[in-house]
Amino acid sequence: MRAKSTSTLAIAACLAGAALLLSCGNFTGKPVCVPMSCAELGKECGSWSDGCGGEVACGGCGMGESCRAGECVGGCVPATCGSMGKQCGTWDDGCGHEIACPDCPDGQKCSAAGRCVDSPLPQDDRVSECGGFESNGGTIFDAPSAYCDAEVLYWIYEAASQTLSLADTRILLNCCGDHGMTVAQVDGVYVVTETDAPEDGWGRCLCMCVYDFVVSVSQIPAETIPIRIFREVTDSESGTVWEGELDLTAGAGAVVIDETDVGLWCTEP
């Protein structure tokens, strides 16, 4: 018998290989993603991900119906404060009406986003130049000791306007600094933050000075209030320098915060 030619054998081998590949279907080895239909997704309206990186359009709804989460519902379903993520304020419910969400608790206000946030206390602050404010005989600067002997917190309360004025005097700080004073109510405590930052963001001196920090705060009820003095030195050590209570019904008072004599750096105001 005559042997088959080489070309015939080669053709047969190619046909067998092609048949094997075709019988395997997906011969790349990669899984095939089959897009889901609207029915499989459980949607009857709107456009949704088909599970394979594309979108499937499930159409619209009939007259008088609206598409909610892929379902055609009759009429308009109004939104609620909870579904809109709103804590306060007045908002459109999506059906042409307004919905009023609850008021914020005392001490908070409603933001533009409909969230209750802490309401800042109306206040005005002043900080002296190096050496402190000049004494004019006012009761807020009537020191129980010489000015340079101690750091003293003075306070005056005006019941008619519910205004508390605080003066933290003879604070020893670097001579080159940017200063500020703010008051905020935190967990029921009136926190007075005194800030000392390097002048213009970088400058410091090789000397120390004394300063007076003064702030007037409104909307403070006539009662005994907890208060904390926190000193924030942005390029050094920060922390609470005094914490206690002030009985505002007494009208005025003074508290010695630091009895360190700083006469070397201090001159009488």
- φ, ψ for residue 119, nearest 5 deg: -90, 125
> What contacts 4, CB < 8 A, 6 or more positions away?
none
The strand pair at 224-233 and 189-198 is best described as: parallel
Q: What is the pLDDT of residue 135?
A: 53
Can you name the residues that pair with 49 across neighbouring β-strands? Answer: 55
| Three-state SS at 196 | strand
Q: What is the pLDDT of residue 134?
A: 66
Residue where the block lists tokens 């009488």: 268
> What contacts 35, CB < 8 A, 6 or more positions away?
50, 51, 52, 54, 56
**Residue in 119, 134, 100, 87 with CA at minimum distance from that of residue 269:** 134
Q: 107 near 185, Cβ under 8 Å?
A: yes
Q: Compute mean pLDDT per 10 residues along the chain, 269 residues long, and list them.
A: 42 42 43 86 86 85 75 80 88 84 82 78 90 63 73 94 94 93 87 90 86 93 96 92 97 93 77
| Greatest extent of the chain over all pairs of C-alpha atoms, in Å | 134
Query: Which value, in Å, is the radius of gyration of the alpha carbons in the chain?
Result: 38
**Residue in 264, 172, 268 with CA at minimum distance from that of residue 211:** 172
- How far is Cα 116 from Cα 85, in angstroms, rounded to an integer? 12
Q: What is the pLDDT of residue 22?
A: 40
- How far is Cα 123 from Cα 220, in angstroms, rounded to an integer? 11
* Amino acid, single-letter form, for residue 40: E
| Three-state SS at 83 | helix
Q: 156 near 251, Cβ under 8 Å?
A: yes
| Three-state SS at 132 | coil
Q: What is the pLDDT of residue 139?
A: 55
